[in-house]
Structure 1
């Protein structure tokens, strides 16, 4: 894996691109020192890999965003990277003191003049200089503390104003709750809640917030990626808030301010379908065929319901296994609805879920959701991620791989080995595979509508065994 990382870095150097995102790839070994040669680099993410060793001192003046979190890096953080927040280095083996910013003393050593031998006058002058320096230092410290106190008071005042009327429903610096939400909390409760990072996705970072009343909610932070005016954002959230269905995770609340945009959902303690399929075996129980079929049926019903809203114009735009959960009946339930409509542009690197037309048009369509659903079906059938690395470190795209295997008439090799223990399901798996291949057709016009897909998936299981 290390040679692959070095190779990618070299290719990137040749292309002179400005953003390098190699997160979530399972890379190991050390970080290539050749990164220092990427003089055009503005953003670098190597998060969620298995990189080890010390961080090289790559001083890149253009670099504005850095994320080295969740690796096995050791040693010290180079001084050239001390300008980045501590969150860029979390989840490694750095000593705690490496996260504190370098202190800068306002007192510098005075230049030494010629000695005045046998003269007390020089001693007096030196003492005065030291005394004046000490006074200047104390004044600087006092001034900094005063500024810090003023900033704290301003933040506290801002927070107090935001919390007031937090259920007023106008979104003016407050949480806006939707009808039917039984949760009782405000913005101050969220500020006080202990937070755990659940996912760093294409549309922002998702946190689990543990509230003081023992309830937990999911908060997604959209800061920095929203590209619509306040009114358009609120209108989109209102549409999402009114989209109520047992197979769609409800939006409970949202928050809008100039510097922060948050959306709040229910928390599912069993985790996402992605974690159920791809977590380490020691951390999960294998998903049986009935469970996978329920996930497919539920997700299909949820997407079909979404497509029927807003006069048949609503699009999910970010369907994937990490945004799919199980409802109380253990059917698939889709989350993150509506966020694609308020983002700068659809994610170009969505881990293999994006339909081909998104790359060309930079827009999402209902047919694009059908494609993403087809990828989810293939994921359930194969147990493989939409993009994954082979033993030889070759990156494989799931749709292409399945297509090539099916063309060679080796269909049996497609299915997840964990499913082979269950008897009498071969025909049902082949039916789901056929539906998935219709959904991932290259041309949007060749894909079925989601209402039709629901019927096809529901009819996989017939008779007394029907779910």
Structure 2
């Protein structure tokens, strides 16, 4: 009898130990879930206020094609978020973000698109599905009042091939600019991305060059008296809209002296060289403009052009003519460079010649059949 009692007591003790382990395991699991929820809350867009811009950077498994495999999200304390949400987000006239508030941006997940010396670019998705790009600029030595005036002046000039800011925010430490997100990427990606310009023929390249030139000439004329040039013109700042037409983005965000307009001409010349050669601006430490000058000086001009253009039947005469325009633009002397108005006239003339040539070829083909 005593033996049976001892045996049952042993079973009860073992059962009690098992129950205790199960309880401990469940408590540990609940704690881990709580930590994961808190970590998930961190994946929100940056929060800033005028007094405290400290932030925490956390990693995510999300990534953008062609960019780093890790997206990044800027987070901050609840107090910072409250301060940021209570400040003024100046929304410019745009149906894209009608009624946009800071709180909408704070709730939106953000994904890192790019990082420069003084700025960071994020893509955010609002609750209503609208995609926006937020550019965060730090250490821009311009007063808050001057920045507001600059953004309001930029907003007064509209062009279908210039991507306008839809909202902005500014403090002493940094500025935020909000843009519509264009899903077709940039001219840089079209030329140097996975497709490497394979579907990017000569007629398309010439058409894009003409559109950019005309648009930039228009902007220079409108802002000449204000002294506002683009300031950072490059192929990654030329975006493609839903019709795959070029859209100049981030116009006027780099304050320059009176040479800013000539700097834009140089930047456009480099874009022309990218279109003509299919090569990167910097390749293994070699500058594209320098390389083209060296090849042309050796009278090997034919070696400059993208082989895809040659094999696609592009007119070598018009290729050379566009190259001459590009070389004028990248002249080392700013004073020797043409104005964007002059550049636009030259390129539009080449485009019209190309169109007449195509019409003639089609006409001859039709007559033969």
TM-score of the superposed pair, with normalisation by structure 1: 0.57
Give 1:419-458 correspondences, 5 Å limit: 419-458=309-348
Task: State the secondary structure of the residue aligned to 1:309.
Answer: helix
> For the Cα contact (< 8 Å) 1:377–1:436, is it kept in 2?
yes
Could you say which residue in structure 2 is the equivalent of 1:265? 179
Could you say which residue in structure 1 is the equivalent of 2:33? none
> What is the number of equivalent residue pairs in this alignment?
292
> For the Cα contact (< 8 Å) 1:307–1:366, is it kept in 2?
yes
Could you say which residue in structure 2 is the equivalent of 1:146? none
Q: Which has the higher contact order (CA 8 A, sep 6+)?
A: 2
Could you say which residue in structure 2 is the equivalent of 1:209? 124
**Aligned partners of 2:78, 2:139: CA distance in 1, in Å?**
29
1:221 aligns with 2:111: no
Task: State the secondary structure of the residue aligned to 2:142.
Answer: coil
Could you say which residue in structure 2 is the equivalent of 1:197? 112
> For the Cα contact (< 8 Å) 2:182–2:242, is it kept in 1?
no
What displacement does 1:327 show?
3.5
What displacement does 1:156 show?
4.6
> For the Cα contact (< 8 Å) 1:388–1:396, is it kept in 2?
yes
1:315 aligns with 2:205: no
Taking only aligned residues, the RMSD between alpha carbons, in angstroms, comes to: 2.9
Structure 1 runs not aligned, ≥5 long: 1-83, 95-150, 162-172, 347-361, 390-394
**Aligned partners of 1:234, 1:240: CA distance in 2, in Å?**
10
Residues 299/417 of structure 1: CA separation in 2 closer, same or farther (3 Å cut):
same
1:252 aligns with 2:142: no
Could you say which residue in structure 1 is the equivalent of 2:88? 174
Task: State the secondary structure of the residue aligned to 1:212.
Answer: coil
**Aligned partners of 1:376, 1:409: CA distance in 2, in Å?**
22
1:382 aligns with 2:269: no
**Aligned partners of 2:154, 2:183: CA distance in 1, in Å?**
23
Task: State the secondary structure of the residue aligned to 2:351.
Answer: coil
**Aligned partners of 1:296, 1:225: CA distance in 2, in Å?**
33
Structure 2 runs not aligned, ≥5 long: 1-54, 71-75, 359-369
What displacement does 1:226 show?
1.4
Could you say which residue in structure 1 is the equivalent of 2:52? none
**Aligned partners of 1:410, 1:257: CA distance in 2, in Å?**
53
**Aligned partners of 1:329, 1:160: CA distance in 2, in Å?**
35
List 4+ stretches of structure 1 deviating above 4 A. Answer: 84-94
> For the Cα contact (< 8 Å) 1:241–1:251, is it kept in 2?
yes
Residues 277/459 of structure 1: CA separation in 2 closer, same or farther (3 Å cut):
same
Q: Which has the higher helix share?
A: 2
Task: State the secondary structure of the residue aligned to 1:254.
Answer: strand
